[in-house]
Amino acid sequence: MKTKRIVITGGPGTGKTTLIDELEKRGYTCLHEVSREITKKAQEEGVEQLFLTDPILFSQRLLDGRLAQFIEAKAYQKEYLFYDRGLPDVTAYMDYFKTEYPESFTNSCLDNQYDTVFLLPPWKKIYKQDNERYENFEEAKKIHTALLKGYENYGYDVQLVPVGTVEERITYILDNLK
- Per-domain residue ranges of the chain: 4-175
User: Is 140's pLDDT higher than 90?
Assistant: no
Distance CA 20, CA 172 (A): 14
Task: Domain 4-175: state its class.
Answer: alpha beta
Q: How far is CA 13 from CA 9, 111, 145, in A?
A: 11, 28, 14
**Residue among 5, 46, 160 nearest 169 (CA):** 160
User: Is 175's pLDDT higher than 90?
Assistant: yes
**Residue among 110, 136, 175, 163 nearest 12 (CA):** 136
**Residue among 122, 173, 119 nearest 149 (CA):** 119
State mean pLDDT over 73-95. Answer: 93
Prediction pTM value: 0.89
Q: In this structure, which amino acid lies at residue 79?
A: E
Cα 54 to chain centroid distance, Å, stands at 20
Give the model confidence (pLDDT) of 3-42 as tens digits: 999 999 998 878 898 999 999 999 999 999 888 788 788 7
Distance CA 10, CA 14 (A): 6
The predicted structure's pLDDT at residue 129: 59
Packing angle between helix 88-96 and helix 137-153, nearest 10 degrees? 130
Q: How many helices (H) and strands (E) does the chain have?
A: 8, 5
Read off φ and ψ for residue 60, nearest 5 degrees. -65, -40
Distance CA 161, CA 146 (A): 16
